[in-house]
Chain A
């Protein structure tokens, strides 16, 4: 849901800050240097870019490793013996076992090995794509996930698309159009951004599926069954993207280059679409990595509300039955998605950052 995302990103890349003193803005760029050194410049720039990209990739790998370590660490905090837990869960009873009864479990899952070895095994396994084995289903976590994740991905991506479309249309239409309209628009965004999925979903379900019968109550994986869940996920995200974009949009509308465009005879709508939009979406795009992660986790709730197949029910039942490997497998998967998505956005931004191209 909408954890308010801060100014995550647009920190200038290591400029010397000048505080209050008038800064040396690079207004005095030299004229065109001779052709040969221009080629050198280009080569140097490419090298710097490559280094930056490599840096980002390394950073992402570090984050993934740290996330995996954290997940492992949490697992070790399990109170009591894991083998006991496993047996109790599968048998539905609550009792203690003798060491002999626990031994085969311990052996099978490696609980008897020293913690450090388990850790290395775990990390090693992750690198090879082994996310562990489910306690309950006795299958590799990865195969369980890959079986069930399809509908969730469909839902997530559709919601993301929907959210963007709604947010952009709304912002373009209502940004800076008089005090009343802007206030209403902004207020609406604030309200929708904070709506819990479980509540919005139920309202939509009751109104559109039960009362009005427009959409099926239990849609399964059909297209018509996709609409309400996608809206449930998409509307709050749209509210959030809208907030961020609107702020930027209104700021950009004040910029002199917009006046220049108007002074050339450009109409208002065209100004918004052709000039302002590109500038205004930058902050929201950088949040896409986070948005994807948040959507997947929100999908868990939405799938429960609409009884929709997907990874949601997998992870909920897993949590209920204390199936730690499965839950942590999903968590690691989502973390990976988040890190990779962020990395791609980051790299893209690094490549198009005008300040890098300047000299």
Chain B
């Protein structure tokens, strides 16, 4: 595998005499590793040719189903295509679908959760029920319903995963907003005579959105996993897409003979998802630095 000499994702260290900035000093090896993984896949999404020499679509019938070796780091598939290249080139579609689904999910979650928390009363009750209803549909089943109705495509995946993951985050955000709304400092602000819109702007919104970093990174990781899962079932973007889920689907038939076809793309997914959540948690910790709660 080519060694990446790009800068670590967190940027160069700020030059300060004698002491490192806190976020740099608190870096643990796990976080550094996560950062490297993300950087690697970021490059894979943007400039895949930098990382993979072979054309992922080039068929080589002489070298089918080869186990991982120095020549083909992750082995080859039934048509002799290099798995490593396919994984690299597949990153873009998988990540983009994941990002798209997350964007949709977050938009819904913030809108619903925020509105419910702020408005209270009747509106809150209605929206809460709405969230309940969405919860009744597990992500995968909702996605299957959409596929049955609209047919498989990237858009279907994005909408289905976005809608399916939204209620969980909506509830989280609503909980945050409620906690802030009922807090002592909001009441203090009221007692000082500040108008409600000012309180929302200066207190409720910034404080309620604080855990958003973790939530969003969690969301992206989740969405990538789910979208690939959908494709694994054969209901994602049609072949010969290299999207990771599609790779998983294709490898399903060869589990007994060529385990790497299933395990390797899955490994890429797992590594990326884990790294994203690790970085998200780390960033959250740094943001919370001097904050009470």
Contacts and interface: CB of A to CB of B under 8 A. Distances in A.
Interface stretch (A36-44, A267-275, A316-324): A316-324
B263 interface: yes
Give the interface SS of chain B, mostly helix, strand, loop or mixed. Answer: helix
A74 B142 CA distance: 10
A190 B281 CA distance: 11
> Which among B137, B222, B226 has the highest number of chain A CB atoms within 10 Å?
B137
Contacts, number: 179
> Which among A66, A70, A318, A319 has the highest number of chain B CB atoms within 10 Å?
A319
Interface in A200-226: 202-203, 205-206, 210, 217
Interface of B: 129-130, 132-133, 135-142, 144-151, 164-165, 168-169, 171-172, 175, 178, 182-188, 218, 221-222, 225-226, 228-229, 232-235, 248, 252, 255-256, 259, 262-263, 266-267, 269-270, 273-274, 277
Interface in A127-183: none
A86 interface: no
Contacts of B148: 318-319, 322-324, 327-328
Contacts of B187: 19-21
A206 B252 CA distance: 12
Contacts of B185: 20
A246 to B, nearest CB: 16
Given A6-B175, A194-B221, A63 B140 contact: no
A8 B266 CA distance: 31
A60 to B, nearest CB: 9
Given A4-B172, A62-B129, A74 B145 contact: yes
Interface stretch (A24-32, A278-286, A334-342): A334-342
A342 to B, nearest CB: 8
Give the interface SS of chain A, mostly helix, strand, loop or mixed. Answer: helix
Given A63-B129, A63-B133, A319 B140 contact: no
A202 B260 CA distance: 10
A3 to B, nearest CB: 4
A335 B142 CA distance: 10
Given A199-B263, A293-B138, A331-B141, A77 B129 contact: no
Contact of A319 (B147, B171, B259): B147
A7 interface: yes
Interface stretch (A99-107, A116-124, A295-303): A295-303
Closest 8 CB pairs of A and B: A20-B184, A19-B187, A199-B266, A297-B138, A335-B136, A6-B172, A327-B148, A297-B140
A273 B148 CA distance: 48
A291 to B, nearest CB: 11
Contacts of B256: 210, 217
B129 A316 contact: no
Contact of B129 (A66, A328, A335): A66
A328 B147 CA distance: 11
Given A3-B222, A19-B184, A298-B140, A199 B267 contact: yes
A194 B235 contact: no
Contact of B183 (A7, A19, A62): A19
Contacts of B252: 304-305
Given A19-B183, A77-B149, A300 B228 contact: no
B235 A334 contact: no
A203 B168 contact: no
Contacts of A197: 229
A67 B225 contact: no
A290 interface: yes
Contact of B235 (A71, A79, A319): A319
Interface residues of A, number: 66
A66 B175 CA distance: 23
B247 to A, nearest CB: 11
Contacts of B273: 194, 196
A1 B235 contact: no
A138 B278 CA distance: 49
A338 B172 CA distance: 19
25 contacts: A1-B140, A7-B175, A8-B171, A17-B182, A63-B136, A71-B145, A194-B225, A194-B273, A198-B228, A198-B232, A199-B267, A202-B262, A205-B255, A210-B256, A210-B259, A217-B256, A296-B141, A300-B233, A304-B232, A318-B148, A319-B148, A327-B145, A328-B148, A331-B142, A338-B136
A316 to B, nearest CB: 5
A206 B218 CA distance: 29
A241 interface: no
A228 interface: no
Given A63-B132, A75-B149, A318-B148, 18 more contacts: A1-B225, A4-B168, A19-B183, A19-B187, A63-B133, A63-B136, A67-B136, A196-B270, A198-B228, A199-B267, A202-B262, A217-B256, A316-B235, A319-B235, A324-B148, A324-B149, A330-B141, A338-B136
